[in-house]
Amino acid sequence: MSQLFGLAAAALVGLGLYGLIVHPEPLRKILAFNLLGSGVFVLFGVIARRGAVVGTGADPVPQAIVITAIIVAFAASALAIGLLLRLRQTTGDAAPPTGDGPP
């Protein structure tokens, strides 16, 4: 049963990575980055669930790691958005300059 969520987590990582690579707008990249991160967290959750023994619902160590990770991901998103807004303020534009040539 937890395998279902594990497969969903793999799909979330793929979706998030695709959004991160393809979207030109930085705010969408930050959204996709959060998606990617949450896919990895669900994968941890699946591993925690599989570590359940009689008496406990799940292995608590990966769950504690995920709690820490959610907060650190939020801190990273906040810093990224601060940088984005400042970039918009100073250059009047919130996208990296598009140039010709290889990406």
Partner 1 sequence: MSVAWAFDAILAGTVLGVAAWIVVARETFAAVAGFIAYGLLLALVWVRLAAPDVALTEAAIGGGVTGVLLLGAAARLRGGATVPDVWPAAPLRLVAGALCTVIAAALAAVVLLLPEPAPTLAPQAAAALPATGLGNPVTGVLMAYRALDTLLEKVVLVLALIGVWSLAQDASWGGVPGPQGRAARAPDALVFLARLLPPVGIVVAVYLLWLGADEPGGAFQGGALLAAMWILMMMAGLAASPAVSDRRLRLALVVGPAVFLAIGLAGFFSAGAFLAYPEPWAKPLIVLVEAAKIVSVAAALALLVAGPPQRSPR
Other CB atoms within 10 A of residue 57 CB: 10
Site for partner 1 in 57-86 (CB under 8 A): 57-61, 63-68, 70-79, 81-86
For residue 47, the number of C-alpha atoms closer than 13 Å in the C-beta half-sphere is: 12
16 binds partner 1 (CB under 8 A): yes
21-60 binders of partner 1 (CB under 8 A): 21-25, 27-28, 30-32, 34-35, 38, 41-43, 45-53, 55-60
C-alpha 30/C-alpha 33 separation (Å) is: 5
| In the complex, least distance from residue 69 CB atom to partner 1, rounded to whole angstroms | 9
